[in-house]
């Protein structure tokens, strides 16, 4: 069989959306046919587990290898004729010629042709924080270890951002330090209560109450307008909703103010106003049926692990149909808020639709391990939160 007869599936990304698709497509489709091949393109040699990062930043609690898991062992048994692992970052995409250009980690560049493209490049945290993986595993570890050292030596720690990451990080640090009077933990958030819609006021008030129980100081209706490093201190200028400003001094500053989709390589015509790739309800890029988009890089649903999981599971079933020329099933996007917020290592809250989740349930389902008990299986593409693919 000639190279031109082989249908190459190129997957961009190595996060929670991408890896189950790679593994299950390999096992259930590519290895069973003569004319298929997968090329995985990612600059990161490790699988990064974002759910546990609010606890990982606390020094000494979670080992690196629980949340940054090497990918190479998973791919070791795949025949080279059927699978290629390219360490590099997509730099441009030309849908007209079905090619993607890649900047290789080792230097130089490469152009890769695809029959089918899966974009699962995810998103990165603002301010180069390790809530999401940085470009490479080495960069992520360096940033994480520097933060852990700051936290270890700090008297005052400020977290900026009242979303789930900010609230959970404040809870973890409060549980470890402020409830025992060891360090001052401060959470700065933009609204009157932590979290935001569609979280209900009942859930948001629970977050506030639990953090205050852990002696976390909350500064509502405020943002960090500027951060200036002076020796071992960081001087933070806070701006309140009424326009007034004040300064506080911290030895560790952890911004958790949102994410940026990793879509710089994509043509502007594929992107919405916020730089997410426009997805149809078939999880395809608008106007391009051979380009599938899943996870945080896509526009269809908010960037959560639950949505990434659901989209990956849908694509695992849809790809064989697409490859065979059959109709691709419609993906049913969820408009029901489902989330769980851990608040320290013993309590939490959350929401399913408009129903508030019990603290014990959040602790049991999420808070005990933050997924570190099965992250290695997800990294191997064998399990997601709700599905075990292989024994």
CA gap 384, 387 in Å, rounded: 5
pLDDT band at residue 92 under the 50/70/90 scheme: very high
Residue-wise pLDDT tens digits, 261-315: 999 999 999 999 999 999 999 999 999 999 999 999 999 999 999 999 999 999 9
pLDDT for 389: 81
DSSP structure class, residue 185: E
Domain segments of the chain: what residues? 3-127+259-334, 137-257
Among 340, 341, 348, which Cα is nearest to 213's?
Answer: 348
Q: What average pLDDT score do residues 179-202 get?
A: 96
Matching CATH number, 137-257, of 3.40.50.9100, 3.50.50.60, 3.10.20.340, 3.60.15.10:
3.50.50.60
pLDDT for 1: 53
Among 221, 171, 170, 213, which Cα is nearest to 193's?
Answer: 221
Look up the CATH architecture of domain 3-127+259-334.
3-Layer(bba) Sandwich (3.50)
pLDDT band at residue 390 under the 50/70/90 scheme: low
Q: What average pLDDT score do residues 120-136 get?
A: 95
Which position has the token pair 């974009």? 119
N residues, the chain: 391
CA gap 299, 279 in Å, rounded: 6
H or E element in which residue 141 lies? helix 137-153
Q: Is it the case that residue 383 has pLDDT exceeding 90?
A: no
CA gap 219, 338 in Å, rounded: 26
Sign, Cα dihedral of 195, 197, 202, 203: negative
H or E element in which residue 219 lies? strand 217-219
Share of the chain above pLDDT 70, in %: 98
Q: What average pLDDT score do residues 350-379 get?
A: 94
Q: Are 266 and 119 in contact (CB under 8 A)?
A: yes
Burial 63-76 (b: 16+ CB within 10 A, else e): eeebbbbebeebbe
Residue-wise pLDDT tens digits, 97-121: 999 999 999 999 999 999 999 999 9
User: Fold identical between 3-127+259-334 and 137-257?
Assistant: yes
Q: Which tops the pLDDT comparison, 204 or 334?
A: 204
pLDDT band at residue 5 under the 50/70/90 scheme: confident
């Amino acid at each position: 069989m000639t190279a031109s007869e082989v249908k190459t599936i190129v997957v961009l990304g190595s996060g929670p959306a991408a890896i189950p698709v790679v593994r299950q497509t390999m096992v259930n489709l590519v290895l069973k046919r003569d004319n298929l091949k997968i090329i995985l393109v990612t600059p990161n040699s490790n699988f990064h587990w974002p759910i546990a990062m609010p606890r990982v930043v606390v020094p000494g609690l979670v080992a690196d290898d629980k949340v940054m898991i090497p990918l190479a062992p998973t791919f070791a048994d795949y025949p080279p004729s059927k699978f290629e692992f390219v360490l590099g970052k997509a730099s441009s995409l030309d849908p007209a010629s079905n090619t993607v250009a890649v900047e290789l980690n080792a230097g130089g560049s490469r152009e890769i042709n695809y029959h089918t493209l899966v974009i699962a490049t995810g998103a990165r945290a603002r301010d180069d924080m390790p809530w999401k993986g940085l470009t490479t595993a080495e960069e992520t570890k360096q940033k994480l270890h520097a933060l852990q050292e700051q936290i270890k030596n700090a008297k005052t720690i400020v977290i900026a951002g009242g979303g789930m990451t900010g609230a959970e990080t404040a809870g973890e640090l409060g549980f470890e330090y402020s409830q025992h009077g060891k360090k001052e933990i401060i959470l700065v958030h933009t609204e009157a209560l932590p979290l935001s819609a569609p979280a209900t006021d009942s859930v948001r008030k629970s977050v506030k109450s639990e953090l205050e129980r852990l002696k976390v100081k909350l500064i509502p209706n405020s943002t960090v307008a500027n951060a200036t490093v002076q020796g071992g201190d960081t001087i933070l200028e806070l701006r309140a909703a009424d326009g007034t400003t004040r300064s506080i001094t911290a030895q560790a500053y952890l911004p958790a103010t949102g994410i940026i989709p990793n879509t710089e390589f994509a043509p502007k015509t594929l992107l919405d106003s916020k730089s997410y790739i426009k997805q149809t309800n078939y999880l395809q890029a608008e106007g391009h049926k051979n380009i599938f988009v899943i996870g945080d890089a896509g526009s269809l649903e908010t960037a959560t692990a639950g949505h990434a999981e659901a989209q990956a599971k849908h694509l695992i079933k849809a790809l064989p149909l697409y490859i065979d020329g059959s109709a691709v099933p419609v993906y049913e996007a969820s408009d029901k808020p489902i989330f769980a917020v851990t608040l320290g290592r013993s309590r939490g809250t959350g929401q399913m639709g408009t129903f508030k989740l019990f603290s014990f349930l959040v602790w049991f389902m999420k808070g005990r391990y933050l997924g570190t008990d099965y992250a290695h299986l997800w990294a191997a593409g064998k399990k997601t939160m709700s599905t075990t693919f292989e024994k």
